[in-house]
Amino acid sequence: MALFRTCIPNGRLYGWIDDSGTVVIEPRFRYASDFSEGLAAVAVNQDTRAEGYITPDGNFSLKLNYPFLGSFQEGRAKIAVGCGSYLYYGFIDSIGQLLIGPDYDEAHNFSEGLAAVRKQEKWGYIDKSGQVVIECRFDDAGAFSEGIAPVSVGGRYGYINAQGDFAVSPTFARAGSFRCGRGNVRFGDPEDGPVGLVDRAGNIIAKHRFQSLSAPCEDRATFDVYADLDRYSYFGYVDGNGNIVIEPSYFLARPFSEGLAAVTCDPHGGSCYIDRTGERAFPGKFLSAREFRNGLAEVHTFTRNGYIDRTGYWVWWCRRRHN
C-alpha cells in the first residue's frame, strides 16, 4: 500500500494518507521523511533530525540516536556520527545494525548493489557488505543506473561499469546518471558548453546549445533556453533522441511521471500539468506542483495544501495557514 506524507499547518505535524485520501497515520510527528522500503524516518520531539523509523502502522520499529538518518535503499540506510560539519557516514540495515563504517566523509545511497563513498577527497564504491569494490580514485562519482555510473577524473566526466572500468571515456565537462538508455552530458566548458544525450557506448545522440538538459524520463527530457529580450529562461521537452517535442514556453518544467508533468505557466509561479503532447491535462493552477507517484501528486494553492489525482480531483487537502 502506497502512503503519502501530509503536513497539518497548525503546529506543522506530519502524518500519512493512503491513495483514497484516508488518514492511516495521524499527524503527530514534527519531522518525517517519505516511506521507503516500508520504513520512514521520523521524530516526535524535534524538527531538525530523525529519532528513528516507523512502519506503516505508525509504530516505531527502530529508535536510534544519530545526527543523520537517511531513507532505506536496497536494504541499507545512510547514517552519520559526529557533530556540526564534522560528520562521518556509514550504513545500517533494517533492524538498526551498523553494518558499514562510519568511515566515510560522504556517501550516496545504494543503487544496483553499490554505493559511492568519499574518503580523503576521492570517490569510490562499496558493496552492501561494506567491501570496497572500486577504489577511491575519482574526483566525483554518481549513482549506478542501467549498469554504469558517471565519474570524473582530471576535470572530465565519463561512465564506468560495475568493475570500475570506463565504459565511456572521460571526455565530458559534466555527466548525469543514465535513464531510458540515455545519459545527459555537457561538452566543452563546464558552465556554458553545449549539452546533449549519449547512449551507453558513448555515441552522441543529440547536441544542442541549451542552457541545460536533463536525462529522459518516460521518453521526455527537460531543457531550457535563455531569452535575452525578457531575461527569462524558457523550458521545454525533447524526446529520447533529442528532438524538440514540446516547445520552450514554460518558466519551469518538472520531469514526466505517470504520463504527466508539472510546468510553471507564468513568471509569478502558477503551475499546471501537461500531457506528453504539451496539452493541459486538466484545468487549474497551483502555487507549486510535484511529480505524480502511485497516482497522486502533492500540490499547493493560496488556500490549500494536499494531493490530487490524475484528473485534478482533490483526494485530500487541508487549509493552508498564512503567517
Taking the C-alpha atoms of residue 261 and residue 68, their distance in angstroms, rounded to an integer, is 32
* pLDDT mean over 233-255: 96
User: How far apart (Å, rounded) are the C-alpha atoms in residues 23 and 17?
Assistant: 4
pLDDT of residue 320: 78
Across the chain, mean pLDDT equals 94
* pLDDT score recorded for residue 76: 98
Residue 158 confidence (pLDDT): 98
Tens-digit pLDDT profile for residues 81-117: 998 788 999 999 999 999 998 999 999 999 999 999 9
User: Is 11:323 a contact under the CB 8 Å cutoff?
Assistant: no
Going by pLDDT thresholds of 50, 70 and 90, the confidence category of residue 229 is low
pLDDT digits (tens, 9 = 90+) for 12-31: 899 999 999 999 999 999 99
What CA–CA distance (Å, rounded) separates 5 from 158? 37
pLDDT score of 267: 79
User: What's domain 252-323's architecture?
Assistant: Beta Barrel (2.40)
**The pLDDT value given to residue 47:** 81
What is the average pLDDT across 247-269? 93
The predicted model scores a pTM of 0.92
pLDDT at 85: 80
Instruction: Give the per-residue pLDDT at 191.
Output: 86
Nearest to 159 by CA among 123, 201, 127, 193: 201
CA dihedral 207, 211, 215, 221 (to 10 degrees): -90
Q: How far apart are the C-alpha atoms of 230 and 220, rounded to whole Å?
A: 26
Distances (CA, A) of 197 to 172, 203, 205, 213, 235: 11, 9, 5, 8, 17
pLDDT of residue 230: 62
Give the alpha-carbon dihedral of 204, 208, 209, 210, to 10 degrees. Answer: -110
Q: Is the pLDDT of residue 178 over 60?
A: yes
Whether the per-residue pLDDT at 50 is higher than 70: the answer is: yes
Across 122-143, average pLDDT: 98
pLDDT for the residue numbered 276: 96
User: Residue 266's pLDDT is what?
Assistant: 83
Taking Cα atoms as reference points, which of 301, 298, 302, 303 lies closest to residue 316?
A: 298
Q: What is the dihedral of CA 187, 189, 192, 195, to 10 degrees?
A: 10
Residues 207-225 have pLDDT tens digits of 999 999 999 999 999 999 9
Q: Which residue has the higher pLDDT, 219 or 9?
A: 219
Query: Pick the residue with more confidence: 58 or 46?
Result: 58
The mean pLDDT of 149-172, rounded to a whole number, is 97
Instruction: Cite the residue boundaries of each domain of the chain with CATH code 2.40.10.
Output: 252-323
Residues 138, 157: contact at Cβ < 8 Å? no
CA distance 136 to 120: 9
